[in-house]
């Protein structure tokens, strides 16, 4: 536990410790969000081990990534609605699992369905001071409420389902203080892109970022969510903002927020959730709010963010930094851009307003205001508005925004992840260029060969009208609009705030009359009994085990790159599986195979000679495995035969995911890698990675090239092949003790009056499943 003045992160962390052992903590998880892509293997693991979901009342599931965003007017069921076989299988598998384990589920016939990070806050499932996880990297979004929210891999999803806890090490505290005010027309999306441009995609590695300062306090909840959403793009484990009056006003009256006396108790506690004066931050950065201008990305990493008034970088200016020069050259080539061209001269083909970053009601209002009374430019082939949830869609329609968009030539879609990731039919064609409000511009992210420019909703809307990237300030000037008020010009009917729409969709008394099978009665708060319940098989603490890792000798493949994201390690089309095996075919797919012929590209290291047998990968640059939480990345490496990756640093979630699969992600100083280890790999010679003696050796000469240390608990689990779920379940008494503490100290987090009992799709009277679809 932290002593002395504590940060917001320290406070929430300390309040959730079930067990501490030498720097390794078992943390209780208050809220677990589940979606179809990262859960099938977790539920399969539970089933195989005969385990149940510990807290069905703290778990909420939906489908979002794989679903088409076409009209649901004729929707009957998931099986008939989704054409793609693998997408359909993932969705129906989730549907079966929520039935089997008795979980709450918002399916496509439920107005509350939407992107997992939009629906949690909307329902009041997300609350200040809670720990929130999801098998999705953008779980950081929920930190906007002063929650400790972070993405996890599928093995951890299984761990949370089974134990309602997670094993954690303490992250570093980082503060990004935004002083002063943002200038008129500048949004939190510009601010977060600006910040990532400054700190880089590895800037927050190993940290939890607290965003603070006047400019942050002035942001609405929707705007705060956009900021925290992208803290993962800054490499952080989580982002958070202290809860305040804005937070409480947003939450009050939400269906799952506490009510009555519990609300008062909760607010009293929530008001204590701020960093103490004198609390120590390991990294403290100040950004001047007034320095932030409309910001867009030009390249293939979120850190390639520049003011819209700038020029595309020139590799010739980076002769002093060869890594950077190579990265810029590669990005320019992929993006089809010329060095030194004005960013505003970049002509676009498509526009996507959507994603968990920017598909909330305020985002749609901002975009609608820009396009009202206009038509999209002739060169824009397609412009899509994809609301973040069914309730955002209803609200927007209530305000007439759908009509504004349709009149301007936009498509008005149903809720889902859509073109943010292209796991569904909404994708870019090769070489198409998109102005996008999403969060990732990686190669192939929105479709193989597609080119993404990240920006705010207002800027994406302006680009749709002008046909090229546009400075929103100039656009507003031409329109004689005041940028300070432009985003809210479209009137909001006072009778229907988003929370009221959300509220109207759920009536607890009606749900109580529902005939949904209820797994088991919830004990009253403070009764001392475990309040989790499930109709699934009883818990088992049998350890199923992971492959052991002791000493590994094998060929090491060299990869001279930085910031290798998990989208590159395994692209989205390979995530549509319900298995953990057979993924090597997708490993580094875009780099290994020609997209048209499917033939191997001879230039990629894993297609060359001895490296086809690689057991180890040696990466020269930092931040390997950044981005998405997909555990498919380590699964694919392991399936290929690579059990150890050596790099100067790793993306947090990839790092953890590797250990859970009996693999070793090994952090070694960059100089040592470049001078001692990489040459052996480049010569096609074998290396030995010895976890027992913590050494990397030249396998032929046995010379020690590097020594290393690995967190003791993780090393112990790897060497002995221990399954962490089995280990954690042995701490049942500590978990029950914590649950008793939680029931008595933080009662608003419990079942009973504040949390609804589990509900199954299509079973709640009063919820407009068919609405106007
Ligand atoms: C599918 C999921 C693992 C992934 C994530 O973790 O971020 C996705 O949401 C993404 O945005 O790439
Ligand atoms: S980043 Fe995109 S794909 Fe991932 S959860 Fe958000 S909207 Fe969905």
- For ligand 2, the distance from its centroid to the CA atom of residue 438, given in whole angstroms, is 8
Which among 542, 533, 536 is positioned nearest to 49, based on CA atoms?
542
What is the whole-number distance in angstroms between the Cα of residue 64 and the centre of ligand 2?
8
Task: State the Cα angle at 392 between 388 and 397, rounded to 5°.
Answer: 125
User: How many other C-beta atoms lie within 10 A of the C-beta of residue 490?
Assistant: 18
Residue 486: the pLDDT is: 57
Q: State if residue 419 touches ligand 2 by the CB under 6 angstroms criterion.
A: no
Query: 176-210 in b/e burial notation, b at 16+ Cβ within 10 A?
Result: bbbeeebbebbbbbbbbbbbbbebbbbbbbbbbbb
| 444 CA to centre of ligand 1 in angstroms | 14
C-alpha distances (whole Å) from 729 to each of 268, 542, 625, 724 are: 33, 9, 29, 8
Those residues of the chain that have pLDDT short of 70 are 1-2, 482-544, 751-773
Q: DSSP characters for 728-739?
A: HHTTHHHHHHHH
C-beta 136 within 6 A of ligand 2: yes
Looking at residue 723, its pLDDT comes to: 87
User: What is the DSSP code string of 295-306?
Assistant: EEE-SSSTT-EE
Q: How far apart are CA 113 and CA 170, in angstroms?
A: 34
Q: Which secondary structure element, helix H or strand E, spans residue 327, and what is its range?
A: helix 322-335
Q: Which residue has the tokens 């007034």?
A: 290
pLDDT at 588: 98
Which residue from 65, 115, 149 has its CB within 8 A of the most atoms of ligand 1, so it is best to mutate? 65
Q: Tell me the CA–centroid distance for residue 439 and ligand 1, in Å.
A: 11
Helix axes 154-163, 40-49, angle to 10 degrees: 50
- Cα of 356 from ligand 2 centre, angstroms: 6
Report how far ligand 2's centroid is from the alpha carbon of 3 (Å).
Answer: 37
Q: Whose CA is nearest to atom 6 of ligand 2?
A: 356
The ipTM assigned to this model is 0.99
**Cα dihedral value 356, 360, 362, 364, nearest 10:** 100
What is the Cα–Cα distance from 154 to 629, expressed in whole angstroms? 8
Q: Write phi, then psi, for 700 (nearest 5 degrees).
A: -85, -40
Q: What is the pLDDT of residue 514?
A: 35
The whole-angstrom separation of Cα 229 and Cα 713 is 30
Residue minimizing CA distance to atom 3 of ligand 1:
630
Atom 8, ligand 2: residue with shortest CA distance = 417
What predicted TM-score, i.e. pTM, was given to this entire model? 0.91
How far does residue 630's CA lie from ligand 1's centre (Å)? 6
Give dist(CA 723, CA 360) in Å, integer. Answer: 40
Give, for ligand 1, the residue of 628, 633, 634, 654 to mutate: max count of ligand atoms closer than 8 Å to Cβ.
Answer: 628
Listed in sequence order, the residues at least 6 apart from 449 whose beta carbon sits closer than 8 Å to its beta carbon are 428, 429, 430, 431, 432, 595
Q: Is 456 in the pocket of ligand 1 (CB under 6 A)?
A: no
Summarised one tens digit per residue, pLDDT across range 247-256 is: 999 999 999 9
Q: What is the pLDDT of residues 162-195, one digit of tens each?
A: 999 999 999 999 999 999 999 999 999 999 999 9
Q: Which ligand is nearest to the CA of 36?
A: 1
Which residues, at least 6 apart from 702, have a Cβ–Cβ distance to it below 8 Å? 688
| Residue 550 CB neighbour total at 10 angstroms | 13
**DSSP characters for 42-96?**
HHHHHHHHT---S-GGGEEEE--SSS--S--TT---HHHH--SHHHHHHHHHHHH
Closest CA relative to residue 402, chosen from 389, 413, 416? 413
Mutate to test the pocket of ligand 1, among 629, 631, 653 (most ligand atoms within 8 A of CB): 629
What is the C-alpha to C-alpha distance for residues 343 and 306, in angstroms, rounded to an integer? Answer: 9
Ligand nearest to the CA of 232: 1
* Ligand with the closest atom to the CA of 355: 2
- For the chain, the 3-state helix, strand and coil shares in percent, each to the nearest 5, are 40, 15, 45
> Which two tokens mark 506?
């759920």
| Nearest CA, atom 2, ligand 2 | 420
Dist. CA 276 → ligand 1 center (Å)? 34
C-alpha–C-alpha distance, residues 773 and 72, integer Å: 5
Mutation probe of ligand 1 site: the residue of 201, 358, 573, 630 with most atoms within 8 A of C-beta: 630
In sequence order, what are the residues at sequence separation of 6 or more whose Cβ sits closer than 8 angstroms to the Cβ of residue 276? 5, 6, 7
Mutate to test the pocket of ligand 2, among 63, 66, 138 (most ligand atoms within 8 A of CB): 138
Our answer on whether the CB atom of 360 is closer than 6 Å to any ligand 2 atom is: no
Degrees (nearest 5) of the Cα angle 416, 658, 52? 65
DSSP 289: G
Contact between 256 and 758 (Cβ < 8 Å): no
CA–CA separation, 648 and 515 (whole Å): 56
**Which string of b and e fits 738-762 if b means at least 16 CB within 10 Å?**
bbbebbeebbbbbbbebbbbbbbbe
Mapping DSSP to helix (H, G, I), strand (E, B) and coil, where does residue 167 land? strand
Q: What is the Å distance from ligand 2's center to 65 Cα?
A: 7
Rounded distance, CA 258 to CA 271, Å?
15
Decide: 211 and 217 in contact? Cβ < 8 Å: no
Number of H helices, E strands in the chain: 29, 26
CB 756 within 8 A of CB 104: yes
Write the CB contacts of 40 (distance below 8 Å, at least 6 apart in sequence).
90, 93, 94, 97, 578
Does the beta carbon of 628 lie inside 6 Å of ligand 1?
yes
* Token pair for 188: 């939190």
Point out the ligand 1 atom lying closest to the alpha carbon of residue 627. 7
pLDDT, position 479: 80
Pairwise CA distance, residues 1 & 10, whole Å: 8
Atom of ligand 1 nearest to the CA of 37: 1
Q: Which of 636, 664, 671 is nearest to 650 (CA)?
A: 664
CA of 470 to the centre of ligand 2 (A): 25
For ligand 2, the distance from its centroid to the CA atom of residue 645, given in whole angstroms, is 27
Residues 6+ apart with CB under 8 A from 176: 195, 199, 209, 210, 211, 212, 285, 286, 287
Which ligand has an atom closest to residue 41 CA? 1
Find tokens 């079942």 and name the residue. Answer: 751
Q: Distance (Å, rounded) from C-alpha 33 to C-alpha 137?
A: 12
Q: Which two tokens stand for residue 153?
A: 């891999």
Q: Does ligand 1 lie within 6 Å of residue 117's CB atom?
A: no
DSSP string computed for 186-198? --HHHHHHHHHHH
Which tokens in the block code for residue 221?
């909840």
In this structure, are residues 640 and 632 in contact, taking their beta carbons and an 8 Å threshold?
no
Closest-CA residue, ligand 1 atom 5, reads 628
pLDDT of residue 268: 98
Ramachandran angles phi, psi of 703, nearest 5°: -65, 140
Yes or no: say if 39 and 629 are a contact pair by the CB < 8 Å rule. no
Sheet of strand 165-168, all strands in order from the earlier edge strand to the far edge:
17-21, 24-28, 165-168
CA 628 to ligand 1 centroid distance, Å: 5
Rounded-to-integer distance, Cα 16 and Cα 165, Å: 9
Look up residue 509 and give its two tokens. 């008394």
Find out whether the beta carbon of 154 lies less than 6 Å from any atom of ligand 1.
no
168: Cα within 13 Å, side-chain hemisphere: 28
Say yes or no: CB of residue 438 within 6 Å of ligand 1.
Answer: no
For 248, phi then psi, to 5°, come to: -65, -40
Ligand 2 atom index nearest CA of 35: 5
151 lines ligand 1 (CB under 6 A): yes
Q: What is the pLDDT of residue 492?
A: 39
Contact, 300 vs 433, CB < 8 A?
Answer: no
């Amino acid at each position: 536990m932290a002593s002395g003045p504590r940060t917001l992160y320290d406070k929430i962390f300390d309040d959730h410790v079930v067990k501490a052992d030498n720097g390794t903590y078992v943390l209780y998880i208050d809220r677990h969000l589940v979606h179809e892509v990262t859960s099938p293997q977790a539920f399969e693991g539970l089933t195989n081990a005969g385990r149940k979901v510990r807290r069905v009342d703290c778990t909420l599931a939906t489908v979002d990534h794989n679903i088409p965003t076409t009209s649901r007017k004729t929707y009957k069921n998931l099986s008939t609605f989704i054409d793609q076989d693998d997408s359909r299988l993932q969705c129906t598998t989730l549907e079966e699992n929520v039935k089997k384990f008795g979980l709450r589920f918002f399916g496509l016939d439920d107005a509350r369905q939407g992107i997992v990070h939009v629906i949690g806050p909307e329902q009041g499932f997300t609350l200040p001071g809670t720990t929130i996880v999801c098998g999705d990297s953008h779980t950081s979004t929920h930190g906007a409420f002063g929650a400790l929210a972070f993405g996890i891999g599928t093995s951890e999803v299984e761990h949370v389902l089974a134990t309602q806890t997670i094993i954690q090490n303490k992250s570093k505290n980082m503060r990004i203080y935004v002083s002063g005010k943002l200038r008129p027309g500048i949004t939190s999306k510009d601010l977060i892109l600006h910040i990532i441009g400054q700190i880089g995609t590895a800037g927050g590695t190993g940290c939890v970022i607290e965003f603070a300062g006047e400019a942050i306090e002035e942001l609405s909840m929707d705007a705060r969510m956009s900021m925290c959403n992208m803290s993962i793009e800054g490499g952080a484990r989580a982002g958070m903002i202290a809860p305040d009056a804005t937070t409480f006003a947003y939450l009050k009256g939400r269906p799952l927020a506490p009510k009555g006396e519990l609300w008062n108790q909760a607010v009293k506690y929530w008001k204590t959730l701020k960093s103490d004066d004198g609390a120590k931050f390991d990294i403290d950065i100040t950004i001047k709010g007034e320095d932030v201008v409309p910001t867009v990305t030009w390249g293939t990493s979120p850190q390639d963010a520049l003011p819209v008034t700038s020029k595309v970088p020139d590799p010739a200016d980076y002769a002093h930094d060869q890594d950077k020069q190579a990265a810029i050259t590669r990005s320019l080539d992929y993006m089809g851009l010329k060095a030194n061209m004005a960013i505003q001269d970049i002509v676009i083909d498509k526009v996507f307003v959507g994603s968990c970053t920017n598909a909330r009601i305020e985002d749609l209002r901002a975009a609608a205001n820009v396009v009202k009374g206009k038509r999209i430019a002739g060169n824009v082939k397609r412009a899509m508005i994809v609301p973040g949830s069914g309730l955002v869609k209803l609200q927007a329609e209530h305000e007439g925004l759908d009509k504004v968009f349709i009149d301007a030539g936009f498509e008005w879609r149903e809720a889902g992840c859509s073109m943010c990731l292209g796991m569904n039919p909404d994708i870019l064609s090769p070489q198409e260029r998109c102005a996008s409000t999403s969060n990732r511009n990686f190669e192939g992210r929105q479709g193989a060969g597609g080119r993404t420019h990240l920006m705010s909703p207002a800027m994406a809307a302006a680009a749709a009208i002008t046909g090229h990237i546009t400075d929103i300030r100039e656009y507003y000037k031409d329109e004689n609009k005041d940028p300070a008020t432009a985003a809210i010009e479209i009137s909001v009917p006072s009778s229907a705030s988003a929370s009221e729409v959300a509220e109207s969709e759920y009536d607890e008394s009606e749900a109580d009359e529902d005939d949904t099978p209820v797994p088991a009665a919830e004990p009253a708060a403070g009764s001392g009994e475990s309040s989790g319940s499930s109709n699934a098989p009883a818990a088992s603490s049998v350890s199923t085990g992971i492959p052991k890792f002791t000493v590994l000798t094998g060929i090491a493949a060299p990869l001279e790159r930085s910031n290798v994201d998990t989208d590159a390690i395994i692209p989205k089309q390979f995530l549509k599986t319900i298995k953990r095996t057979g993924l090597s075919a997708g490993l580094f797919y875009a780099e290994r195979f020609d997209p048209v012929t499917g033939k191997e590209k001879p230039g990629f290291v894993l297609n060359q000679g001895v490296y086809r047998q690689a057991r180890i990968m040696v990466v020269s640059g930092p931040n390997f495995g950044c981005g998405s939480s997909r555990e498919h990345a380590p699964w694919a490496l392991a399936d290929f035969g690579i059990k150890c990756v050596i790099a100067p640093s790793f993306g947090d979630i990839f790092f953890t995911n590797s250990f859970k699969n009996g693999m070793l992600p090994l952090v070694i100083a960059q100089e040592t890698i470049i001078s001692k280890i990489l040459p052996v790999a480049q010569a096609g010679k074998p290396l030995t990675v010895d976890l027992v003696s913590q050494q990397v050796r030249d396998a032929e000469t046995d010379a020690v090239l590097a020594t290393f240390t690995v967190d003791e608990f993780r090393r112990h689990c790897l060497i002995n092949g221990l399954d962490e779920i089995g280990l954690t379940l042995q701490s049942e008494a500590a978990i029950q003790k914590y649950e008793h503490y939680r029931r008595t100290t933080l009662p608003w987090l419990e079942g009973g009056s504040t949390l609804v009992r589990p509900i199954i799709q299509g079973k709640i009277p009063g919820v407009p499943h068919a609405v106007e679809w």
